[in-house]
Amino acid sequence: MNNNSPKLQKQLNPLAVWGLAFGCIIGWGSFFNPGLKFLPKAGTIGTVVAMLAGALIMVIIAVSYNYLIPRYPTAGGEFAYARAIFGPRHAFVCGWFLVIAYITNVPMNATTFGYMTRFLFNEKLAVVPLYEIAGFHVYLSEVLISIAAILLLAFFSIKGIKIAGRIQSIFAISLAVSVVIIAVSAVFSSYTHLADFKPFFSPNAQSTGESISGVISILAIAPWAFVGFDTIPQSCEEFNFSTKKVFRIMLIAIAFGAFVYISNTLVAATAMSENYVAALNDESISWLLGYSVKNMLGWPGLIILGVALSCAILTGLLGFLTATSRLMYSMAKNGYLPSFFARLNPKTNTPVNAILFCAATSIVGPLFGRTALGWFVDMSAIGAAIGFAYTCFAAAITSKKRKDAENWKSVHTFSIIGGVFSLLFIIMFIPGMPAALDAPSLIMLGVWILFGVIFYAARKRNNNFN
């Protein structure tokens, strides 16, 4: 690319960057996983402990990002750090897994958008049944709604980062306000009973060890739950402000994210007029948080919840389209992906081909229905953890080598701690561990790795790496 080629524009303000980070952290999972995963595996207090611990670990990892962003102010983030410190092979591994971590969140959020309409409209919009996957019926109407959401947000993403940033800010603020309203309402609602906090830990735990295992299983997906603050460096070429504000933005995004996860989980449990353990086994209650809010506030509350979930889904779609496209743009610009993905729209200066590719591949997700959501979560968590690990160890090496910060010793220490936690997250998904991958996730991971090996060999043979 020559000097006359279009470049990414510096049009993102701090609020927009916070919106991108917070919007990526909070997607469909914080609204559906309280009933699907959190409460069944860890209970109320167990989930709170896991989320607080996860948020604290993310803050430790964020120290490494804060150190590296001003030293490598280029799109690509973790990929750029791995390339500078560890070389082409590690850069490709880091970038390849980050692509899957980010891009899987697009169909995840879109699929939930279609599924949400089934609950809010009592399945009136669930028309033209297609097939059934693992007990979940897939309807053409829901698939089309999900695809429409992907295409709409892809359009705004292509229109320019300034427009996308404004939209993201509005959605993110609306999301935060809606969740606060529901949380405050739950505190004062007559439907809220402290007794519904029980059991504090996994409903199926027979011992302390099993309770701890349940907490660990939720903590293990923290890289997926909080993936979003790390998307900030993907768009750092487009900041119109000093990188000195980055760490504060990350902290606020992580704190808001932890609040939403914990609040939604407690509301799902305490707003029930009956014990949630029985509700978890009731197949008619497909969305525990929605059922709880409807009991507590009726249709007005459900409308507020619908606004919150819609904003969460839309911010997730737009945020991860932005992050994935910038990552692919950076990898392509340096020869790790075909140059096709490095093309910028001459009018809006956005990586148009990368955005269109993300949208096109994400359209496949809704065809698998809700069943595929769990598979995507595992893939995203592993990819994010690998990106965290490379960033932390790159910061540890760089800070000790350069000693170019007054607090370089603290940065070095926190980076090593963050790197160790990142490796532990990866280990938790090994078969036999509390968060071991199930068969579909293992197959998807194996296929992605195989494609990566083939693609790397082809690019290396042609000496395409810069």
Q: pLDDT at residue 28 above 90?
A: no
Residue 1 pLDDT class (50, 70, 90 cuts): very low
Work out whether the CA dihedral 22, 50, 443, 459 comes out positive or negative. positive
Residue 73 near residue 243, CB atoms below 8 Å: yes
What pLDDT sits at residue 4? 52
Q: pLDDT at residue 119 above 60?
A: yes
Q: Which architecture, in CATH terms, is 14-461?
A: Up-down Bundle (1.20)
Residue 254 near residue 61, CB atoms below 8 Å: no
Q: pLDDT at residue 21 above 50?
A: yes
Residue 3 pLDDT class (50, 70, 90 cuts): very low
pLDDT of 184-199, one tens digit each?
888 877 776 666 666 6
pLDDT of 209-229, one tens digit each?
667 777 887 887 777 788 778
Q: Which residue has the higher pLDDT, 29 or 254?
A: 254
How many C-alpha atoms does 436 have within 13 Å on its Cβ side? Answer: 8
Taking the domains of the chain in order of start, what are their residue ranges? 14-461
| Bridge partner residues of 136 (DSSP) | 133
Residue 344 near residue 7, CB atoms below 8 Å: yes
pLDDT of 233-282, one tens digit each?
888 888 888 888 889 999 999 999 999 999 998 888 876 545 555 555 55
Count how many residues are written for the chain: 466
Mean pLDDT score, 138-147: 81
What pLDDT sits at residue 407? 82
Nearest to 235 by CA among 328, 316, 146: 328
